[in-house]
Structure 1
Amino acid sequence: METPNVYLNKKPSSKGAFITGWVISGLCILFLLFDAIMKIILNHYSVEGSVQLGWPAEHIQGLGITLLIATILYAIPRTAVLGGVLICCYLGGAVAIMVRVNAPFYFPIIMGILIWVSLYLRIPAIKSIFPFVKN
């Protein structure tokens, strides 16, 4: 018995869905790059916000580098799924930190949803994994 390979599904998305997926991805990439770079260069506002959430100031650059690597992986079509997984792990940590300090945590959840919606629209194989069907 052969195991079906979901990655062999090469049926392309519609042109509109593909473009919409890339537009959503582009917006997410721009936001995540901005956040990562502000952490890496130790921007005053980024450091201040991170410290208020409980992060030690000396760890903020490491967070920025981690987010930058995950975002670059997400931006490259071949590694987009790996990047999406890593970004969602990062965002899960953001939700946990925000819940701990009793801050609103809806933004990281929305960002994670947008990451996967964009991948769903861009990559046909993901539609095999999450087969939403019309009734």
Structure 2
Amino acid sequence: MEARSMQPLTKGFSYKRLWAGRILGALPALFLLVDGGMKVFKPPVVVEATVKLGYPESAIVGIGMLLLVCTFLYLIPRTAVLGAVALTGYLGGAVATQVRVSAGGFNILFPVFLGCLVWSGLWLRDRRLEQLLPLSDKGS
């Protein structure tokens, strides 16, 4: 197995692809920022929904802050991969929570869908990630 060199981010990189990645990444980021903000401000509907999922009311602000930190890490280009990994963990917890309370299919699949958007957007806009996780092996 030969080592691949990391190519410069701009060499052969399409601006359409870059903007597609930014848009795909912005969609889940906006949703997650709103979700995290709502948990921090704790309107009654959020408190009620979170308590129904089995979490104590005292944990809601902490969960919201964690989500906001993970999302901000994802939005900063230098820490985007770390943010995507952190969001993957957060969204995995959301899936586990929905499975634990026997929620329907959409509630279980929505965090998976968000995670796919997060990683798809990052893959499209970061050439290093494409080199790490190639979808095809053009070199062989």
- DSSP 3-state at the match of 2:64: helix
For 1:28, the aligned partner's letter is P
C-alpha change, 1:11 and 1:73, in structure 2 (3 Å) is closer
Q: Is the 8 A contact 2:74 2:82 kept in 1?
A: yes
C-alpha change, 1:55 and 1:5, in structure 2 (3 Å) is farther
CA distance in 1 between partners of 2:46 and 2:17 (Å): 34
The reply to whether residue 133 of structure 1 matches residue 133 of structure 2 is no
Q: Number of aligned pairs?
A: 132
Correspondence list, 1:25-64, <5 A? 25-64=25-64
CA distance in 2 between partners of 1:14 and 1:39 (Å): 38
CA distance in 2 between partners of 1:11 and 1:62 (Å): 36
Matched with 1:113 is 116
Matched with 1:73 is 73
CA distance in 2 between partners of 1:130 and 1:50 (Å): 36
- List per-residue Cα deviations over 1:44-75 (Å, max 9, x = no partner): 11111111111111101000000000011001
C-alpha change, 1:72 and 1:101, in structure 2 (3 Å) is same
Cα drift, residue 24 of structure 1: 1.3
CA distance in 2 between partners of 1:31 and 1:11 (Å): 28
Question: Where do 5+ consecutive residues of structure 1 fail to align?
Answer: none
CA distance in 1 between partners of 2:48 and 2:59 (Å): 13
CA distance in 1 between partners of 2:61 and 2:115 (Å): 22
Matched with 2:8 is 10
Cα drift, residue 110 of structure 1: 0.3
Task: Tell me whether 101-110 or 41-50 shows the greater mean CA deviation.
Answer: 41-50
Identity among equivalent positions (%) equals: 40
CA distance in 1 between partners of 2:101 and 2:43 (Å): 22
Q: Name the TM-score, length of structure 2 as normaliser.
A: 0.88
The ranges of structure 1 where at least 4 consecutive aligned residues each deviate by more than 2 angstroms after the TM superposition are 3-6
Q: Name the TM-score, length of structure 1 as normaliser.
A: 0.91
